[in-house]
Amino acid sequence: MRLRLVVDGQPHEVALEPGRVVVDGQAFEARAAGHGPFDVYVAGRKMRVEVRPGEALIDGMPVRFQAEVLPPAELRAAAQRGPGPVHPPMPGRIVEVRVQPGQQVKAGQVLVVLEAMKMQNEVPAPMDGTVREVRVREGQLVEARDVLVELA
């Protein structure tokens, strides 16, 4: 799940992934236990968190926030801002490649299908463009930093 989180007036992009949280591109090992109030473990540090409408208590300290769930295509488009590489949202195995070099694509069109944690994830084009290069093949294992497709 990807969020736009505004804390004390400062916007942040947050991705909640199994075993980690990515905040503004920086990854932290994390896990949560309980239903709330609950314990959150970030980089080995335990914090007690209680979430209320527009506010969270973190170890008893109030923090005001606003949260908006971001659709994956919107987040990628915001991060991309132009032609270039398309990365997978997480490590996994390529199940299907749906584009080829020279093909015209529209924002949101599925480029690649990735299997991660026994789920299939569609990786969409972040923008309208032309496929310059496909760098993966079906069955290939990829990491989040790998390039799947280059768009022009």
**Of residues 83 and 111, which shows the higher confidence score?**
111
The chain-wide mean pLDDT, for the chain, equals: 82
At residue 134, the pLDDT reads: 97
Q: In what order do the strands lie in the sheet with 119-124?
A: 119-124, 110-116, 92-97, 141-142
The pLDDT tens digits of the residues spanning 18-50 come to: 778 788 778 888 776 666 788 877 777 888 888
Give me the CATH topology for the region 80-151.
Answer: OB fold (Dihydrolipoamide Acetyltransferase, E2P) (2.40.50)
DSSP string of 26-83? EEEEEEEESSSSEEEEETTEEEEEEEETTEEEETTEEEEEEEEEPPHHHHHHHHH-SS
Among 39-53, 97-111, 129-143, the range scoring the smallest mean pLDDT is: 39-53
What CATH number does the domain located at 2-69 have?
3.30.700.30
pTM over 0.75: no
Are β-strands 129-134 and 110-116 bridged in parallel, bridged antiparallel, or unpaired? Answer: unpaired
In this prediction, residues 104-131 reach a mean pLDDT of: 88
Taking the domains of the chain in order of start, what are their residue ranges?
2-69, 80-151
